[in-house]
Amino acid sequence: VPLIQHTLNVMLEFYHQGKISLEKIVEKMCHAPAQCFKIKDRGYIEEGYWADLVLVDLEKEWMVEKKNIYYKCNWSPFEKHTFKGNVEATIVSGHLAYENGRFFEEKKGERLRFLE
């Protein structure tokens, strides 16, 4: 089932319902994966770490439609669902990778390094 594209949106829905804090979302979606998989220099906004950031408009409402589904299968279980909270931009390793529905592929991601 294709779910990864909308995982943050689901978490933001829980935030708007008062079920989780923004700090807990950051912990679960950024810090915990970096720690769990022992990914070096990722998962935190700290000096010496790679700049991997997601910029979110917490109040923007939008509906999942075919035109904004990025899965290769071109469908989502969330189709026709309206979310509150939208990813406006994504920065990977300090480079703009996505902004307002457009992907920028000039600078691709780099191989992750793992701790020993």
Residue 35: the pLDDT is: 96
The two beta strands, 53-63 and 95-99, are unpaired
- Encoding tokens for residue 82? 């309206």
> Would the pTM of this model clear 0.95, i.e. be above it?
no
At 110 the pLDDT is 78
- pLDDT one-digit tens code per residue, 73-109: 999 999 999 999 999 999 999 999 999 999 998 877 7
How does DSSP assign 43-99, residue by residue?
SS--TTS---EEEEEEEEEEE--GGG--STT---TTTT-EEEEEEEEEEETTEEEEE
Residue with tokens 């089932």: 1
Nearest to 65 by CA among 51, 52, 81, 54: 81
Domain boundaries, the chain: 4-103
Q: How far is CA 67 from the centre of its chain?
A: 18
Average pLDDT, the chain: 95
- Distance, in Å, from the CA atom of 49 to the CA atom of 87, rounded to the nearest integer, reads 22
CA of residue 108 relative to chain centroid, distance: 16
**Reported CATH class of domain 4-103:** mainly beta
pLDDT at position 109: 72
